[in-house]
Amino acid sequence: MISKNLEEARADVKKGIKESREHAEALFGGKGLTDPIPTVEDKWKLLPAFLKVKGLVKQHIDSFNYFINVDLEKIIRANERVKSDVDPHFYLKYTGIRVGAPERPDQEAMNRSYTPHECRLRDLTYSANIYVDIEYVRGRQIVRRKGVPIGRMPIMLRSSHCVLTGKNELELARMNECPLDPGGYFVVKGVEKVILVQEQMSKNRILVDVDRKGFVQAGVTSSTMERKSKTYVGTKNGKIYLKHNSISEDIPIVVALKAMGMQSDKETTQLVCGQDSKYIDKFSPNLEECSKMKIFTQQQALDYIGTKVKAPKRAFGPGIRRPPAEEALDVLASVVLAHVEVHDNNFRPKCIYVAVMTRRVVMAMLRADLVDDRDYVGNKRLELAGQLLSLLFEDLFKKFNSDLKMNIDKVLKKPNRTQEFDVYSQLLFHGDHITSGFVRAISSGNWSLKRFKMERAGITQVLSRLSFISALGMMTRISSQFEKTRKVSGPRALQPSQWGMLCPSDTPEGEACGLVKNLALMTHITVDDEEEPLIKLAYILGVEDVSLLTGHEVYMPDTFMVFLNGNILGITRYSKQFVAAFRRMRRAGRISEFVSIFISDHHNSVHISCDGGRICRPLIIVENGRPRVRSEHIEELSAGKLSFDDFLRLGLLEYLDVNEESDSNIALYEREIIPESTHVEIEPFTILGAVAGLIPYPHHNQSPRNTYQCAMGKQAIGAIAYNQLNRIDTLLYLMVYPQQPMVKTKTIEMIGYDKLPAGQNATVAVMSNSGYDIEDALVLNKASLDRGYGRCQVLRKYATLLRQYPNGSYDRLADPPVHPDGIASVGERIKPGQVYINKQMPTNTSSDIGVNSRDPTANAYKNAPMSYKSAMEGYVDKVLMTTTDNDQTLIKALIRQTRRPELGDKFSSRHGQKGVCGIIIQQEDMPFSDLGICPDVIMNPHGFPSPFGGSKVEDMSRILIENGFSYSGKDYVTSGVTGEPLSAYIYFGPVYYQKLKHMVMDKMHSRSRGPRAVLTRQPTEGRSRDGGLRLGEMERDCLIGYGASMLLLERLMISSDIFEIHVCEMCGLLGYAGWCQHCKSSKGMAKMQIPYACKLLFQELQSMNVIPRLQLENVF
Amino acid sequence: MVAEKKNFKYNDMDTLRSRVIVERDRVTSTASTDFPHNYPGIDLSWNFEKFKENFKIKINRLSKSEMEFDMIGIDAAIANAFRRILIAEVPTMAISNVFVMNNTSVVVDEVLAHRLGLVPILADPTKFDFKAKDETSTDLNTIVFRLNVKCKRNPQASPTETDPLKKYIHSSVYSGDLIWDPKGDQAERFKDSPIKPVHDDIVIAKLRPGQEIDVEVHCEKGLGQDHAKWSPVATATYRLLPEILINGEITGDAAIKFQSCFPKGVVDIVEGNGVKKAVVVNPRKDTVSREVLRHAEFENKVKLTRVRDHFIFTIESVGSIEPQDLLVQAVQVLMDKCAQVKRALQATLQSE
């Protein structure tokens, strides 16, 4: 019996195998699944090709380009007319806008074109004029003018309008610019400013979540050019309500729908629930509630809502108040769900939208897993420089126009004018509102837009030029809008959907952990795209208009609702075919490659997106189990015959955004392709960002080590840019002999870290030595330091302005003692305290000095020299004397220190292994190997990650053995002190070490006596003020607990702000010099010592009519 | 050999006394135990005659800059003392003061000075005095060089030339551009061996047209312990002579494998009676990779040791003093030190 069954089973299996083979044959053209698939060699070469066309900061540049080339036009068109309240015939119309090339604001300059580097040096703003074309009424005629400047726009470096774009290395060198610099930032008042990428929730999408009380609600942030508002459909006591800020009370959902014209309960039920009885059961209480409220018609519903609408602020006075129903209709049409447009009072689309939201709520009430994940990257949008600037510009432009209108009205109001009114002159001399608005916003980082009630600080940051990597890392940084103080783990956690989009390693530790993220290597952030062609295409491909259908048809089993950017487009019954056809159009290049389309099976819907701010990345398309990219394509790519864009054009690659990625089946390696695969990854290491890409063998590290290294790589001293010696930055750290790492990653070569490295290949012995190396301390070889290991330069800028004052006097430079012109010469040694710019200021800067005034004090000068404040002598590296925007003389002096590593300086390997130098040992004391090599650095192995494993490492072992070393890299080592061998084998070899910017010289501080604060007479605080070291509350608690009262007294009073007072024993008040002013006597005056702060307290209390009286007693 | 008969698991006293034992994951018997009264019945007190008899120096290799020799029959402490003195205490001349008249190159003054300091100078340090900090420079303690280089365009170069060496004159500053400026009777004293940098082709800086370096440079006598630039050696080092002991015979494929565990030339395969047999021919060439000890089949069949008092000593001179002279000077330094200690001891004894 059993054997028979077995046999049958075997036959079944055989049949199954045969069938599957046949199936495979049909699928893969004769190739079995187990047949070896020829792999595409070197497909990683697509990555440099991608970086060549896109670059690491392409998202910033793309976004800015879109803003000045496309968005500006749109803004102008939306605000094109300026009218006058006085003269109805008058109008001013903007017909065009364009941004010129960056040029000096100075009209008389010989050569008006300037470079970003000149702006950095001279503290200028790298900007270009904004020109508009206008058409306006002058008298009785219409005048047209082209190219009227209205302000200046800061220009992003390497954007389409920047002078650096498209220049080769030689031309860049002539402009003092580094070819490896990515651009993507602004130069404002000589400071490099980055507009950080901002992460936000996506707009115009329904998002279902559960609030704190456990109620389900569906929310939409509507965002249109005119308005931003949030609408919720939420539950309360099992019933569903519509909530909106402009309506003071929650509106029962059925009432809201009735108000929008859906008066039949059946229609409503169908559109929310379809035929599903479970949904109907859940929804019916709402219908009941509505009928209980006795609201049956649209008019009743509108009347009801109208009473709840918050009075809108109107420009033309509070007197005019429309009937409530009208008010309600207006609010429902244009404020609630503003992104669903209502044309000619046709509320049908909005009704359906509200019904869909309601349905989502009902669904989520029944099934908790249908609640959306707010942290899902597909629900996020990234806001870039272009979008932020566009908001700012629109605000400034509106303000500009309203100011202009006010001025026009002011002139037109005058009954008789001597001259015909020409608005052109008004426009020209309208001031620099737009210019200064841009400069203020970018240099302070405060985006305050009244229109959207937006008040955001910290949008821009100074580009960190600590090292090449820190600058690069800053350009890919994404900051989140979440509050840092809130203790929620969700937004901080690593999201699976971050894969390939955001770097899993590169995030700071501490409060911003997980909130500040970095882009992965191969990402692209989309910009807004046209919707009309997509709508047309969707209808051509068989989408049916939803307005013509009832809920019965809409929610049929195989019917999918089609959304475009969150708006309902229609329905389709052939979702798979529709999506496939749509994708085919995209791969053929008929629509933008950044349009995404995916099927959501949970909601039976198809979502098409073309909005800006989505993160997407390229993937290789897999067809019939084979990647479309073949070896021959890569060969052509290497030969330079194909570019990355050609791969897109040929339909070999495509961009997927996070949502579409989740709807695809992506194989990590070619060998993992299965029949269901739709794509294959270009290269796995692209999931890391630029900074994490520097780590060799990151997959052998414990994951937090990679995160530590990401933070530390940015602090490493090295080469900064090719123009580093021409820069005058506030603080510049340079390494004297940087080396490129011996162990490189592909990322290192692609981002140019091998050209601008930050570190040296040190010979490291991993062992304990001398005990000065515990707790991650390092032992350094003195001879290595003598020979230049870890040597670095610190250059600091000291700048001053030679100001001209309102009364005509000005600062001047006096020569002696600083030779020959009051500024120290280049190359001169500056000792601590020495004067290097001998500036003098006039004593009188405000009042007039008479021209004939003989009074010598009127224009006397006082010394205001700049003296060098540092513990170590420095050398003048550069002196710059120039003029700024407003013709002030600017002097910048760069003073250089060359430092050799010393005790306490911080070093780190590339694996999050940081340590400070604990001792410097003579070369002869160092252990040496059989080859005579002695280490530059000895690293303590305590807490060292366990040895590597894996095939790569076996390879390395083999090479070691072949060259006569131990397989483990551990050498036989002799002690340099005793001359006898060490009894342990020592891991010995080159390791890339970074010197970090934290150096003892900048930190060490001590004080015995020193300056005191004026008010409290207590020692000052902080190293920069030579302050004292605070004995804080907790230390005080310890001393109290220990009972060391005399020490406490000494620390808190005697060594701090001791003060001798005279107290009257009669009245208990403070006297002075043995005399009590209150008692008018010197009888019974006692002397005592109290802290000065205590005396201050007494006096302050007295000033508030509280009398503190001291009652003195004899202690002994 | 006697050693082949030894039981490998057990280390007898002879082995422990004379060998450092290299095990798979540690080194044992590292310290010398030959001191008086350590082993009962063996007289280990120091005896000059015995030392003279045992001590040998055999020079293997000698060139202008490098020397390898075997030093046999001496304690590690003394051999190490020579090594340490060679690195740190044999005086040489090196640039210690740089007076910058003009430097418009991209190499800043401090770095230029540092680079110049590391250039080895060919001058006999025995003919100079140490200069104390407050002492003035004289022709007896200072050597002066001048370096005055200006970069210009090469008028003969073709306009399309891209190689800076051809396009410009003096595009690189070399150590050979340092010109000795004899002071006092230095020209007379050193007329047979004029003072100059050891190598003429060390790049000091790179220049471009219009840039100029004009410095005066003072060399002083110093010790490697103060700064590595005064160290006369690139390095001085030694290793102990390796020894490979085989228990019984290793034959056949195992012999081939055994051979492959060592660098070329250490182990030979001898064929006798149609059987391949591994024979250690030159253990000196072994790099002590301990590869044999990783393989289970050689367990208890092979033992690695190193001869405790056989030092293969290498001196790599920087070029200012020839290696054989270096050793002599090192020995002299040690002798001076001993003499000093001896004097001090005598003084203490006398005062008591």
Going by pLDDT thresholds of 50, 70 and 90, the confidence category of residue A482 is low
How near does any CA of chain A get to the CA of B277, in Å? Answer: 22
Q: Are B315 and B86 in contact (CB under 8 A)?
A: yes
Going by pLDDT thresholds of 50, 70 and 90, the confidence category of residue A503 is very high
**Segment A1081-1088 mean pLDDT:** 87
Query: How far is residue A1039's CA from residue A619's CA, in Å, rounded to a whole number?
Result: 65
Q: Which two tokens stand for residue A934?
A: 């002695």
Q: Give the architecture-level CATH label for domain A792-846+862-899.
A: Beta Barrel (2.40)
How near does any CA of chain A get to the CA of B187, in Å? Answer: 31
Is the Cα torsion angle A397, A398, A400, A404 positive or negative in sign?
A: positive
Higher-scoring residue by pLDDT: A340, A1059: A1059
Contacts of A724 in chain B (CB under 8 A): none
Query: How far is residue A701's CA from residue A949's CA, in Å, rounded to a whole number?
Result: 11
Going by pLDDT thresholds of 50, 70 and 90, the confidence category of residue A18 is low
CB-CB neighbours of A1056 under 10 Å: 19
For residue B350, with 0-12 CB atoms within 10 Å meaning exposed, 13-18 middle and 19 or more buried, which class applies?
exposed
pLDDT at B99: 95
Going by pLDDT thresholds of 50, 70 and 90, the confidence category of residue A193 is very high
**Segment A585-596 mean pLDDT:** 88
Contact A932 B306 (CB under 8 A): no
Lowest mean pLDDT among A150-159, A258-267, A573-582, A751-760: A258-267
For residue A181, with 0-12 CB atoms within 10 Å meaning exposed, 13-18 middle and 19 or more buried, which class applies?
buried
Q: Are A934 and A927 in contact (CB under 8 A)?
A: yes
pLDDT at A502: 92
pLDDT above 70 covers a percentage of chain A that reads 92
Q: What is the DSSP string of B306-328?
A: EEEEEEEEEEEE-SSS-HHHHHH
Going by pLDDT thresholds of 50, 70 and 90, the confidence category of residue A34 is low
Q: Which two tokens stand for residue A655?
A: 């961009």
Higher-scoring residue by pLDDT: A282, B263: B263
Based on its alpha-carbon atoms, the radius of gyration of chain B, rounded to whole angstroms, reads 28
Query: How far is residue A504's CA from residue A494's CA, in Å, rounded to a whole number?
Result: 7
Contact B88 A923 (CB under 8 A): yes
pLDDT at A49: 80
pLDDT at A140: 79
CB-CB neighbours of A918 under 10 Å: 22
Buried/exposed A708-732: b ≥16 CB within 10 Å, e otherwise: bbbbbbbbbbbbbbbbbeebbbeeb
Q: Which two tokens stand for residue A838?
A: 């001998």
Per-residue pLDDT tens over the stretch A292-321: 888 888 888 888 888 887 766 554 445 566
- Helices A532-540 and A575-587, axial angle in degrees (round to 10): 130
CATH 3.90.1800.10 fits A1023-1103, yes or no: yes
Asked whether residue A412 carries a pLDDT value surpassing 90, the answer given is no
**Segment A216-232 mean pLDDT:** 83
pLDDT at B2: 44
Query: How far is residue A532's CA from residue A535's CA, in Å, rounded to a whole number?
Result: 5
For residue B178, with 0-12 CB atoms within 10 Å meaning exposed, 13-18 middle and 19 or more buried, which class applies?
buried
Q: Are A206 and A218 in contact (CB under 8 A)?
A: yes
Query: How far is residue A48's CA from residue A45's CA, in Å, rounded to a whole number?
Result: 6
Q: Which two tokens stand for residue B26?
A: 């540690």
Going by pLDDT thresholds of 50, 70 and 90, the confidence category of residue A214 is confident
CB-CB neighbours of B18 under 10 Å: 17
Q: Are strands B168-169 and A460-462 parallel, antiparallel or unpaired?
A: unpaired
Q: Which of A776, A885, A1002, A1026 is catalytic?
A: A776
- Across the interface, of A924, A928, A974, the residue whose CB is closest to B88 is A924
Query: How far is residue B150's CA from residue B169's CA, in Å, rounded to a whole number?
Result: 8
pLDDT at A862: 85
pLDDT at B90: 94
Based on its alpha-carbon atoms, the radius of gyration of chain A, rounded to whole angstroms, reads 37
Please report, for residues A71, A534, A592, B302, the alpha-carbon distance to residue A530 in angstroms, rounded to integers and kept in the order given: 12, 8, 9, 79
pLDDT at A603: 84
- Helices A265-273 and A348-366, axial angle in degrees (round to 10): 60
Contact A924 B32 (CB under 8 A): no
- Across the interface, of B25, B81, B225, the residue whose CB is closest to A985 is B25
Residue A971 φ then ψ, to 5°: -105, 155
Q: Which fold has domain B3-87+235-247+300-314?
A: Gyrase A; domain 2 (3.30.1360)
Query: How far is residue A179's CA from residue A172's CA, in Å, rounded to a whole number?
Result: 6
Q: Which fold has domain A207-312+322-338?
A: 3.90.1110
Lowest mean pLDDT among A530-534, A928-932, A940-944, B316-320: A940-944
Query: How far is residue A329's CA from residue A250's CA, in Å, rounded to a whole number?
Result: 16
**Segment A664-679 mean pLDDT:** 88
The strands making up A91-102's β-sheet, listed across from edge to edge, are: A81-83, A91-102, A127-138, A141-154
pLDDT at A853: 54
Asked whether residue A1 carries a pLDDT value surpassing 50, the answer given is no
Query: Do A207-312+322-338 and A1023-1103 agree at the fold level?
Result: no
Q: Quote the Cα angle for A17-A19-A22, to 5°.
A: 110
Query: How far is residue A484's CA from residue A510's CA, in Å, rounded to a whole number?
Result: 10
**Segment B32-53 mean pLDDT:** 87
pLDDT at A940: 85
- Across the interface, of A786, A896, A967, the residue whose CB is closest to B227 is A786
Per-residue pLDDT tens over the stretch A270-298: 888 888 888 888 888 888 888 888 888 88
> Is A936 part of the contact surface with chain B (CB cutoff 8 Å)?
no
Q: Residue A223, by phi and psi: left (phi above 0), alpha (psi -120 to 50) or beta?
A: beta
User: Taking a contact as any Cβ pair under 8 Å apart, which residues of chain B between 172 and 231 contact chain A?
Assistant: 224-225, 227-229, 231
Q: Are B276 and B248 in contact (CB under 8 A)?
A: no
Contact B80 A961 (CB under 8 A): no
For chains A and B, count residue pairs whose Cβ atoms are closer than 8 Å: 107
How near does any CA of chain A get to the CA of B322, in Å? Answer: 19
Query: How far is residue A203's CA from residue A387's CA, in Å, rounded to a whole number?
Result: 13
> Is A966 part of the contact surface with chain B (CB cutoff 8 Å)?
yes
Q: Which fold has domain B92-231?
A: RNA Polymerase Alpha Subunit; Chain A, domain 2 (2.170.120)
Q: Are A554 and A274 in contact (CB under 8 A)?
A: yes
- Strand runs labelled E in A78-196: 81-83, 91-102, 127-138, 141-154, 186-188, 191-195
Per-residue pLDDT tens over the stretch A129-153: 889 898 888 877 888 888 888 888 9
Q: Are A1070 and A1108 in contact (CB under 8 A)?
A: no
- N-terminal to C-terminal alpha carbon distance within chain A: 110
Contacts of B87 in chain A (CB under 8 A): 783, 923-924
Query: How far is residue A540's CA from residue A533's CA, in Å, rounded to a whole number?
Result: 10
How near does any CA of chain B get to the CA of A989, in Å? Answer: 15
CA A442 to chain centre: 14
Asked whether residue A374 carries a pLDDT value surpassing 90, the answer given is no
User: Taking a contact as any Cβ pair under 8 Å apart, which residues of chain A between 127 and 166 contact chain B?
Assistant: none
How near does any CA of chain A get to the CA of B76, in Å? Answer: 5
Q: Are A116 and A164 in contact (CB under 8 A)?
A: yes
Going by pLDDT thresholds of 50, 70 and 90, the confidence category of residue A3 is low
A529-610 — its CATH code? 3.90.1070.20
> What ranges do the domains of chain B cover?
3-87+235-247+300-314, 92-231
Query: How far is residue A1084's CA from residue A1090's CA, in Å, rounded to a whole number?
Result: 18
A692-705+735-789+915-995 to CATH, choices 2.40.270.10, 3.30.830.10, 3.30.750.80, 2.40.50.100: 2.40.270.10
Contact A964 B289 (CB under 8 A): yes
Asked whether residue A12 carries a pLDDT value surpassing 70, the answer given is no
Per-residue pLDDT tens over the stretch B221-231: 999 999 999 99
Per-residue pLDDT tens over the stretch A705-718: 899 999 999 999 99
Q: Are A161 and A128 in contact (CB under 8 A)?
A: yes
> Is B152 part of the contact surface with chain A (CB cutoff 8 Å)?
no
Per-residue pLDDT tens over the stretch B122-171: 999 999 999 988 889 999 999 999 999 999 998 888 888 888 888 999 99
pLDDT at A428: 75
**Segment A967-993 mean pLDDT:** 92
Collect all residues with Cβ–Cβ distance below 8 Å to A653 and sequence separation of at least 6. Answer: A46, A618, A619, A620, A621, A629, A644, A647, A682
CA A753 to chain centre: 22
Contact A898 B110 (CB under 8 A): yes
Q: Are B351 and B106 in contact (CB under 8 A)?
A: no
> What ranges do the domains of chain A cover?
207-312+322-338, 529-610, 692-705+735-789+915-995, 792-846+862-899, 1023-1103
Q: What is the DSSP string of A764-796?
A: EEES--TTTT-TT-EEEEHHHHHTTTT-EEEEE
Going by pLDDT thresholds of 50, 70 and 90, the confidence category of residue A449 is confident
Per-residue pLDDT tens over the stretch A1009-1031: 899 999 999 999 998 888 999 99
Q: Quote the Cα angle for A713-A718-A722, to 5°.
A: 120
Asked whether residue A952 carries a pLDDT value surpassing 70, the answer given is no
CA A672 to chain centre: 36
Query: How far is residue A255's CA from residue B330's CA, in Å, rounded to a whole number?
Result: 104
User: Taking a contact as any Cβ pair under 8 Å apart, which residues of chain B between 226 and 265 contact chain A?
Assistant: 227-229, 231, 235-240, 263
Asked whether residue A26 carries a pLDDT value surpassing 70, the answer given is no
How near does any CA of chain B get to the CA of A747, in Å? Answer: 30
For residue B48, with 0-12 CB atoms within 10 Å meaning exposed, 13-18 middle and 19 or more buried, which class applies?
exposed
Collect all residues with Cβ–Cβ distance below 8 Å to A588 and sequence separation of at least 6. Answer: A651
Contacts of B96 in chain A (CB under 8 A): none
> Is A833 part of the contact surface with chain B (CB cutoff 8 Å)?
no
- Say whether A936 is catalytic: no
Lowest mean pLDDT among A115-124, A259-268, A712-721, B23-32: A259-268
Contact B291 A967 (CB under 8 A): yes
pLDDT at A947: 54
Lowest mean pLDDT among A29-38, A349-358, A519-528, B324-333: A29-38
**Segment A336-365 mean pLDDT:** 84
